């Protein structure tokens, strides 16, 4: 028969055997995850410490916060930059010289100002009227030139590759204005003016006189001059009574945006193709 003898319990460290056995059953990916968690916690603590140091050591900026969109006024919107709408069109191959193309544009601003009453603001919607569907605002504006009143005209150049602008002024025959003339000025304004606040006291300054246009008592006068006009730029002019002739002025017409062409009177721009 076989004989057996009991093992001595003091020869085996049961605790170490159990601990080794338990450790051998811990998955390796769990060990890696535990290590990653320690590192993530350390990074969070470090970032928090850096933020606290930055907050209490860097001086606060004195620049006022930007206005929320809801508080922007019409004047704020008027001064916003107009980015190009024609991205990449300059890379398109086109015939050279450019094909002759042109169109005419109506002023975005036509507003009289009065030197005799420097704070006076003329009505910027003089032809509005009430109807059954509400107030109607026709695009009809007044051009008035007298001894004290002049008119500001502004245009916005539009479209791509149409950067040659020709200012045209048609003056009707005025039999009572023999010897009179009007002066045309470029004025220093590159944004659309707010006609609700425009007066002689707030007008833009004159840059240069372009011409003195005599008023013909027998026939209409057509004066024109070309300017460079980058896309989306604003061109500003003033029509005033010329002091060179010594004669008084009294010239007035109403200009309608809906008319297809300028017949006997008007101020408008013809844009010509440049590429």
- On whether both 154 and 248 belong to a single domain, the answer is yes
Q: How far is CA 58 from CA 50, 53, 54, 133, in A?
A: 12, 8, 6, 60
Per-residue pLDDT reduced to its tens digit, 208-239: 999 999 988 888 889 999 999 999 999 999 99
Please check whether residues 104 and 212 belong to one and the same domain.
yes
pLDDT band at 17 (very low <50, low <70, confident <90, very high): very low
Residue 78 lies in a domain: no
Residue 79: the pLDDT is: 74
- Residue 134 and residue 241 in one domain: yes
Q: How far is CA 112 from the centre of its chain?
A: 24
Q: Are 195 and 125 in contact (CB under 8 A)?
A: no
pTM tops 0.85: no
Q: How far apart are CA 143 and CA 110, in angstroms?
A: 7
How many angstroms separate the CA atoms of 257 and 255, rounded?
Answer: 7
Q: Is 229 inside a domain boundary?
A: yes
- If asked whether residues 169 and 268 sit together in one domain, one would say yes
Please state, in angstroms and rounded to a whole number, the distance separating the CA atoms of residues 186 and 158.
19
Q: Is residue 99 a part of any domain in this protein?
A: yes
Query: Which residues is 38 bridged to in the sheet?
Result: none
| 21 lies in the same domain as 100 | no
Determine, yes or no, domain membership for 71.
no
| C-alpha count within 13 angstroms, C-beta hemisphere, residue 158 | 12
123-139 pLDDT, tens digit per residue, is: 999 899 999 999 999 98
CA distance 234 to 203: 15
Alpha-carbon torsion (71, 74, 75, 76), positive or negative:
positive
How many domains does the structure of the chain reveal?
Answer: 2
Examine the domain organization and report whether 52 and 184 are in the same domain. no
Return the top range by mean pLDDT from 19-33, 87-101, 125-139, 261-275. Answer: 125-139
Same domain? For 143 and 222 the reply is yes
pLDDT higher than 60, residue 1: no
> Predicted confidence band at 83 (pLDDT cuts at 50, 70, 90)?
confident
Its domain, for residue 196, covers 95-272
In a domain, 104, yes or no: yes
- 237 and 163 housed in the same domain: yes
For residue 3, the Cα-to-chain-centroid distance in whole angstroms is 105
């Amino acid at each position: 028969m076989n004989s057996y003898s009991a093992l001595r319990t003091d020869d085996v460290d049961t605790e170490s055997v159990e601990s080794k056995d338990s450790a051998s059953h811990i998955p390796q990916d769990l060990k890696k995850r535990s290590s990653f968690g320690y590192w993530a916690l350390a990074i969070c603590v470090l970032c928090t410490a850096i933020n606290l140091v930055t907050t209490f050591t860097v001086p606060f900026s004195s620049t006022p916060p930007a206005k929320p969109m809801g508080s922007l006024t019409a004047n704020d919107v008027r001064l916003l930059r107009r980015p190009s709408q024609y991205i990449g069109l300059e890379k398109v191959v086109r015939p050279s010289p450019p094909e002759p193309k042109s169109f005419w544009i109506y002023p975005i601003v036509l507003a009289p100002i009065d030197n005799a009453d420097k704070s006076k603001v003329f009505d910027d919607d003089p032809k509005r009227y009430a109807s059954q569907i509400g107030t109607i605002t026709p695009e009809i504006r007044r051009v008035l030139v007298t001894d004290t009143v002049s008119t500001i005209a502004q245009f916005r150049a539009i479209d791509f590759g149409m950067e040659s602008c020709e200012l045209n002024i048609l003056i009707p025959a005025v039999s009572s204005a023999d010897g009179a003339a009007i002066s045309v000025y470029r004025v220093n304004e590159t944004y659309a003016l707010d006609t609700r606040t425009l007066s002689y006291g707030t007008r833009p300054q004159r840059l240069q006189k372009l011409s003195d246009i005599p008023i013909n008592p027998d026939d209409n006068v057509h004066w024109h001059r070309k300017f460079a006009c980058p896309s989306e730029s604003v061109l500003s002019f003033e029509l005033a009574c010329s002091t060179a002739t010594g004669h008084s002025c009294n010239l007035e017409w109403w200009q309608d945006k809906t008319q297809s062409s300028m017949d006997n009177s008007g101020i408008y721009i013809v844009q010509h193709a440049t590429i």
